[in-house]
A and B are shown apart, each in its own frame.
Chain A
């Protein structure tokens, strides 16, 4: 536990706005642990969240992402560890003394108050003057595109509108960090897509750090510029959506973000891996990262080409095919294991029948490497 605290608090201990040098963290989680009785929900988690980023905590249900968010918000007390907001440990503080606001999954709008009073709630608690309250509430409602609904009650609004009001109610306080707990979960698909772009727009407009919890990888990829993938209470990998998709470091990440083909192999050189059927494939040296022994190499289905044009290739028979309109998805049985490939339907009648032999190839740069015998699949 203590090792993780060794990384000294950054210069953020003094308000980082003044010195432009170095990374600016809005949130630092240091050795954060939460145990419910004997269940470890969050396990020694350390994480830096940069100022002004749209940050996604992504993972399957029960991975500890919501518990982490609730600890930052002040609704769960950490068993161990520190939560620094702008360099100050807020772990011992109650929710109402933290400069963060939350958008709840259920929206949690106050049903007995008008929309105006809902949005004004935080300002009133801080004794903001009446005229100022009015101005800022209207401003917040305009930001979410719902000006003019001030006198309605929450139940008179649609789910999507309630969602926006919840957002306005949080943002009107201009918090240091906005926490979003699966806020789009209750919306239908079309509305969810709209709100994803809307949230992204609002975030870049207000410039506040957003921490967004979701189990939907597509949602996280669409909105966030930094993603942390959590599993079993710890961080699997963090990075930009591209980094995570193109070079996942664990089988879990590879499987959680889209479809991937994972093949067992043994290191036979600095940049070469021998698959179980004896085929040697080339991988980027940095992806192998000095690993030895058995590894798993991975390649995304859309990176595979038909034919033997690239440096790495495999042959197999078509076991399954599924026509998806834009492309056809084939699953091949190869001696090294099953491989899925997407083939663009760029000319009519190009389908391959099951049982036929196909050769696939891909470039070494499209290959990623994960540790063997890990998790999923």
Chain B
């Protein structure tokens, strides 16, 4: 034994230590690769199964490649109207929430007023409250709306109001971050050069916080399209895309769900890449 070990010891230490050195040198790389696999695998499965050709009602086993699902993405009854509704809600909710959120952020950063601290706290609440609580509370509010004198039936408007509500917080936080680093002298300079308050806002403030406003819009849109819990409580008989998926999954999982999921993922990544590209070009110009 000892002689074997000793013999091996003579030849191996080099190889062993080299292997060990390799791991040490690349431990971060290996770890990162594993991490990315962990992150990306589910997405890869979703994308792959959008090209599956399932035989039964469930899209869980690989049966062969096809373009059919992409060509007939709306072949499943109800899927198209669900997507339309989701996009409509997301569009309106993100625009309204970003507009309101930008104004709130301006007020919070620019002005000292009674109740500023409280407002800051209230803005943070929807971010920290569990969605299920938000959804249930909103449902209670709408349910009793008749007793306050305005009857809002569950449906499009209740979903929209709910989405605007939780999107505002994200918009405020995003725009506020940009405003905190904003040089107030820029606005003073504009007014010094003859621009009134409105012109100053349009010509100086708005262009400078535009990236944050755009980011807030996209963030709100993504959160709104994606929301299930709050929507489920307040949708009535309306079906958004997440609700459609949830409903469908109980009886069947058509590959079209994967198609839509992949499409959303693709659009998001494309937008992100465009953004990175623009930012790179800008910083190169500077």
Contact = CB atoms under 8 A, between A and B. Distances in A.
A112 B206 CA distance: 11
A110 B286 contact: no
B150 interface: no
B55 interface: no
Interface stretch (B24-32, B160-168, B188-196): B188-196
Contact of A153 (B199, B207, B285): B285
Given A106-B183, A108-B185, A169 B286 contact: no
Interface string B193-235: 1111001000110011000000000000000000000000000
A230 to B, nearest CB: 22
A74 B191 CA distance: 9
B193 A169 contact: yes
A156 interface: yes
A94 B286 contact: no
B190 A121 contact: yes
Given A106-B185, A108-B183, A122 B285 contact: no
Interface-central residue, B189, B193, B199, by most chain A CB under 10 Å: B193
B284 to A, nearest CB: 11
Interface-central residue, A101, A102, A108, by most chain B CB under 10 Å: A108
B249 interface: no
A104 B191 CA distance: 13
B208 A95 contact: no
B273 interface: no
A96 B286 contact: no
Contacts of B278: none
B207 A95 contact: no
Nearest to B196: A96
Given A106-B183, A110-B186, A74 B192 contact: yes
Contacts of B188: 73, 75, 95, 102, 104, 108
A109 B286 CA distance: 15
Interface size class of B (residues with CB under 8 A): 10 to 19
Contacts of A102: 188-189, 192
A111 B183 CA distance: 11
Interface-central residue, A95, A100, A101, A121, by most chain B CB under 10 Å: A95
A18 B209 CA distance: 48
Interface in B164-192: 183, 185-186, 188-192
A109 B193 CA distance: 12
Contact of A94 (B183, B185, B191): B191
Contacts of A110: 186, 189-190, 204
Interface in A32-89: 73-75
A96 B191 contact: yes
Contacts of A125: 193-195, 199
Nearest to B210: A112
Nearest to B199: A125
Nearest to B184: A108
Interface size class of A (residues with CB under 8 A): 20 to 34
A113 to B, nearest CB: 8
Contact of A156 (B191, B192, B193, B286): B286
B183 A96 contact: no
A111 B192 contact: no
A339 B60 CA distance: 96
A156 B284 CA distance: 11
A193 interface: no
Given A112-B207, A153-B285, A122 B193 contact: yes
B189 A96 contact: no
A94 B185 CA distance: 15
Contact of B192 (A95, A106, A109, A155): A95
B194 A122 contact: yes
B286 A153 contact: yes
Contacts of A109: 189
Contact of B194 (A106, A155, A173): A173
A126 interface: yes
A156 B189 CA distance: 20
A108 B205 CA distance: 13
B203 to A, nearest CB: 8
Contacts of B185: 104-106, 108
Nearest to B189: A108
A275 B274 CA distance: 80
Contacts of B285: 153, 156
Contacts of B194: 96, 122, 125-126, 173
A110 B199 CA distance: 14
A170 B194 CA distance: 11
Nearest to A94: B191
Nearest to A70: B188
Interface string A240-277: 00000000000000000000000000000000000000
Nearest to B187: A108
Given A111-B208, A125-B199, A156-B286, A73 B183 contact: no
A367 B281 CA distance: 66
A144 B51 CA distance: 65
Contacts of A105: 185
Given A74-B191, A156-B286, A94 B196 contact: yes
A48 B185 CA distance: 27
Nearest to B286: A155
A108 B285 CA distance: 20
25 contacts: A73-B188, A73-B192, A74-B191, A95-B191, A96-B192, A96-B193, A96-B194, A102-B188, A102-B189, A102-B192, A105-B185, A106-B183, A108-B183, A108-B185, A111-B186, A112-B207, A121-B190, A121-B203, A122-B193, A122-B194, A125-B193, A153-B286, A156-B285, A169-B189, A170-B193
Interface of B: 183, 185-186, 188-196, 199, 203-204, 207-208, 285-286
Given A102-B192, A125-B193, A125-B194, 11 more contacts: A75-B188, A96-B192, A104-B185, A105-B185, A110-B186, A110-B204, A112-B207, A122-B193, A126-B194, A153-B286, A173-B193
